């Protein structure tokens, strides 16, 4: 993608709704999926008029765009689509918006013939304050789960990425990807989130944690927990 000035006008077609805004607004959170799409780290479709096309909920994107403009979440008093908006925030991976919307309500207890499988994805990113803009100096992503089939499918599907198998206790296994640079981390993270979701898992919660290790470095940790229901095998 050709590098555009940050004040450049950008037009998006989101699910048939057309929005115009500045590039700087869309890149307010460059680590988000939206930032990766508009920033050129991921291939992005165009409609017949040359607008960026995103196949998501068009009307709800209004609230996402206003959040990008003001860094504040403002919803109507009678707003009844918080659950749908949360799903959109999860898709675009805008962490501050996800936090504003809060964690989804706990799921009801599962029937006795089923249980919950869990996959956790974590990202550890070290940032150098000496660089302007702040540069990623090392980043790693780790998948942890007790579901062997998930690790096997990830291993066979992400062969081009640098992986290290790690043995853990309690019959869990982990894959660590990296270290890799910022563009690789964004692309890998987006593809892993999509891959896990297509395997039938739903994001239960997300969190982000900032740590200062040294005067010239910050460490940012992101964590996603995915769950899916499965039936118990007959004894």
Residues 135 and 157 in one domain: yes
Q: Are residues 31 and 85 in the same domain?
A: yes
> What pLDDT is recorded for position 131?
59
> Is 92 in the same domain as 120?
no
State the average pLDDT over residues 185-214.
Answer: 77
Indicate whether 217 belongs to any domain.
yes
State if pTM tops 0.75: no
Residue 165 in any domain: the answer is yes
Which of the four pLDDT bands, split at 50, 70 and 90, describes residue 232?
low
Residues 95 and 139 in one domain: no
Residues 154 and 83 in one domain: no
Structural domain includes residue 163: yes
71 with 155, same domain: the answer is no
Q: Is residue 142 part of a domain?
A: yes
Domain-located, residue 110 = no
In tens, the pLDDT along 5-45 reads 555 888 999 999 999 999 889 888 877 878 877 876 666 78
- Pair (216, 119) in one structural domain: yes
Predicted confidence band at 235 (pLDDT cuts at 50, 70, 90)?
very low
pLDDT score of 61: 95
Question: DSSP for 177-189?
Answer: E----HHHHHHHH
pLDDT of residue 15: 92
Boundaries of domain holding 84 = 9-101
123 shares its domain with 91: no
122 and 44 both lie in a single domain: no
- 81 shares its domain with 132: no
Per-residue model confidence as pLDDT tens digits over 94-151 = 888 887 787 554 445 545 556 788 888 888 877 766 655 556 666 788 888 888 888 8
Radius of gyration of the chain (CA): 19
Where is the domain boundary, 73, 101, 129?
101
Q: How many domains does the chain have?
A: 2
Q: Give residue-wise pLDDT tens across range 48-102.
A: 999 999 989 999 999 999 999 988 888 887 888 888 898 888 888 888 888 778 7
**Residue with more model confidence, 145 or 222:** 145
Provide the pLDDT for residue 14.
93
Between CA 159 and CA 127 the distance in angstroms is 27
Q: Token pair for residue 209? A: 């944690």
Q: Please indicate, yes or no, if residue 1 is contained in any of the structural domains.
A: no
Helix ranges restricted to H, 59-203: 61-70, 82-92, 95-101, 148-157, 182-198
Task: Give pLDDT, residue 207.
Answer: 72
Residue 108: inside a domain: no
Does residue 153 share a domain with residue 226?
yes
């Amino acid at each position: 993608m050709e590098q555009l000035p940050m004040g450049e006008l950008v037009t998006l077609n989101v699910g048939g709704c057309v929005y115009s805004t500045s590039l700087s607004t869309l890149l307010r959170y460059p680590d988000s999926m939206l930032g990766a799409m508009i920033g050129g780290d991921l291939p992005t479709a165009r409609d017949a008029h040359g607008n960026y096309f995103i196949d998501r909920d068009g009307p709800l994107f209004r609230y996402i765009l206003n959040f990008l403009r003001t860094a504040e979440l403002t919803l109507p008093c009678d707003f009844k689509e918080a659950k749908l908006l949360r799903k959109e925030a999860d898709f675009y991976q805008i962490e501050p918006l996800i936090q504003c919307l809060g964690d989804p309500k706990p799921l009801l207890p599962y029937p006795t013939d089923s249980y919950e499988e869990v996959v956790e994805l974590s990202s550890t990113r070290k940032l150098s304050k000496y660089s302007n803009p702040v540069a990623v100096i090392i980043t790693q992503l780790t998948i942890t789960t007790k579901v062997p089939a998930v690790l096997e499918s990830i291993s066979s599907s992400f062969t081009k990425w640098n992986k290290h198998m790690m043995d853990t206790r309690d019959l869990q296994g982990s894959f660590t990807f990296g270290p890799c640079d910022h563009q690789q981390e964004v692309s890998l993270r987006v593809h892993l989130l999509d891959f896990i979701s297509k395997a039938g898992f739903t994001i239960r919660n997300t969190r982000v944690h900032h740590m200062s290790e040294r005067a010239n470095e910050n460490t940012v940790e992101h964590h996603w927990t995915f769950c899916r229901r499965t039936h118990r095998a007959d004894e």
